[in-house]
Amino acid sequence: TATIGLIGAMKEEIELLLAGMENVNQHTYAGIHYAEGDIYGQHVVVCKSGVGKVNAAITTQMLIEKFGISKVIFTGVAGAVHPELDIGNIVVSTTCIQHDMDVTPLGFKRGEIPYQEVSAFPADSGLISLAEKACEQLAIPLRKGIVLSGDQFIASKESVKWLYEELEGACVEMEGAAVAQVCYMNNVPFVILRGMSDKADGSAHVNFAEFTVKASHQSHKIVESILLQL
């Protein structure tokens, strides 16, 4: 049967998945732990990638090569960029862009990866629909939109304004677009789910500390529902 890869960056983002798994086998590759087992009737590999794009990329490629996963779902928290998003709301990725890719001195657009056809990596439409259904059933507010990723914690109004106006982002985090690029290059369907832990502004560090567990658990509920629908 098909194996589904489930990734979070931090402990809070995967702890409920790990707690619900059965028949678990542990594996370690490149220092990252992978728990293979069953949950909600699906065979899955759950892992904590660590923070940032390099960790996320390595983890995703390992899931593909070592476990032959057929889909990837990322679950976690993000800073809200779209002005109508509140803490606790969910963003489901349409496409993912690396906002810190900046080769503008050579005439490339911000976020554009030079000499490459695609820089905005599209999520799987089937997984997006399942996420939408899940949010409807659970009455959790959802916004579909662009997930922006970079190796930076965003914590200023000016940055948020720029990310919204120039890159049309819905939320900002540190892994999604790396997962997306690896999936795209390997032809593996993916979706990024993010609960809003903060608004990426001057209060972001305080809100992040306060709301990460809650926002992670919101995102987890969507994963649970998607796995039950698959």
Which residues of this protein are in contact with ligand ADE, per CB under 6 A? 77-79, 153-155, 172-174, 197-198, 200, 204, 208
The two beta strands, 42-48 and 3-8, are: parallel
Alpha-carbon distance of 181 to 72, in angstroms, equals: 12
Indicate which residue of 36, 173, 198, 201 is catalytic.
Answer: 198
Q: 162 CB contacts (<8 Å, ≥6 apart)?
A: none
Residue nearer to ligand ADE on the CB measure, 148 or 188: 148
Instruction: Name the minimum Å distance from CB 155 to ligand ADE.
Output: 6
Residue 105 DSSP code: G
If we measure between CA atoms, which residue out of 113, 111, 184, 116 comes closest to residue 149? 111
Instruction: Name the minimum Å distance from CB 54 to ligand ADE.
Output: 15
The question of whether 65 is a catalytic residue gets the answer no
Alpha-carbon distance of 101 to 229, in angstroms, equals: 36
- The DSSP annotation for 13-58 comes to HHHHHHHH-EEEEEEEETTEEEEEEEETTEEEEEEE--SSHHHHHH
Residue nearer to ligand ADE on the CB measure, 73 or 78: 78
Instruction: Name the minimum Å distance from CB 150 to ligand ADE.
Output: 7
Residue nearer to ligand ADE on the CB measure, 134 or 171: 171
Residue nearer to ligand ADE on the CB measure, 37 or 111: 111
The question of whether 198 is a catalytic residue gets the answer yes
What is the set of active-site residues? Answer: 13, 198
